[in-house]
């Protein structure tokens, strides 16, 4: 069985994330979307809510599950027998950072990393930009799944 993990903070999950998750799910028998628990960073949504929003966004993908992790991702990979990390790339800057991480993960735990470029129509999306637009009342409904938009309208003050 081919298994992979798609990790991230997903605060919140965007249509760019969903693009990568959907395409990765087509390549693996099982894909786990793993939400990073970072106690040193306060997110807009707590981990439980991020997991629920991701679950809603990928509910049509039968081979995708959602989990969370803290600490080193490679430790989570070893515990869960997942040999591949899938990382979405938006731009060259993403690649430079993710390449170092991939090399370190390979050295630490022999976990491979597969890079997947986002589709051009969602390559500009980031959770940080989406949150900023929503905080200033901008319409993010075309940038995030419907459930995320609904929550952003209530939490960040965005418009439907």
Question: Which residues are tagged catalytic?
Answer: 17, 41, 90, 127
69 is in an annotated binding site: no
| 59 is known to lie in a ligand binding site | no
Any known ligand binding at 140? no
Q: Can you name the residues that pair with 31 across neighbouring β-strands?
A: 4, 64
What string of H, E and C letters represents the secondary structure of 76-123? HHHHCCCCEEEEEECCHHHHHHHHHHHHHHHHHHCCEEEEEECCHHHC
C-alpha to C-alpha distance for 57 and 112, rounded to whole angstroms:
26
Establish whether 126 is an annotated binding residue. Answer: yes
Number of H helices, E strands in the chain: 6, 5
Tell me: is residue 122 an annotated ligand-binding position.
yes
Is 68 annotated in some ligand binding site? no
Q: Tell whether residue 27 is among the known ligand binding residues.
A: no
Q: For residue 29, give the DSSP letter.
A: S
Residues of each annotated binding site: 9-10, 17, 41, 73, 87-90, 98, 122-128
Residues of each annotated binding site for substrate: 9, 41, 73, 87
Residues of each annotated binding site for ATP: 9-10, 17, 88-90, 98, 122-128
């Amino acid at each position: 069985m081919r298994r992979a993990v798609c990790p991230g903070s997903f605060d919140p999950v965007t249509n760019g994330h969903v693009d990568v998750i959907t395409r990765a799910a087509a390549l693996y028998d099982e894909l786990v979307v793993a939400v990073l628990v970072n106690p040193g960073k306060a997110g807009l949504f707590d981990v439980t809510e991020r997991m629920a929003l991701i679950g809603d966004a990928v509910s049509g993908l039968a081979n995708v599950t959602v989990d969370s992790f803290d600490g080193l991702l490679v430790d989570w990979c070893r515990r869960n027998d997942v040999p591949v990390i899938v990382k979405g790339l938006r731009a060259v800057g993403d690649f430079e950072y993710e390449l170092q991480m991939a090399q370190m993960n390979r050295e630490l735990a022999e976990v491979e990393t597969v890079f997947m470029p986002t589709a051009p129509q969602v390559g500009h999306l980031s959770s940080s930009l989406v949150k900023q637009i929503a905080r200033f009342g901008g319409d993010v409904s075309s940038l995030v799944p419907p459930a995320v938009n609904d929550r952003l309208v209530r939490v960040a003050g965005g418009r439907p």
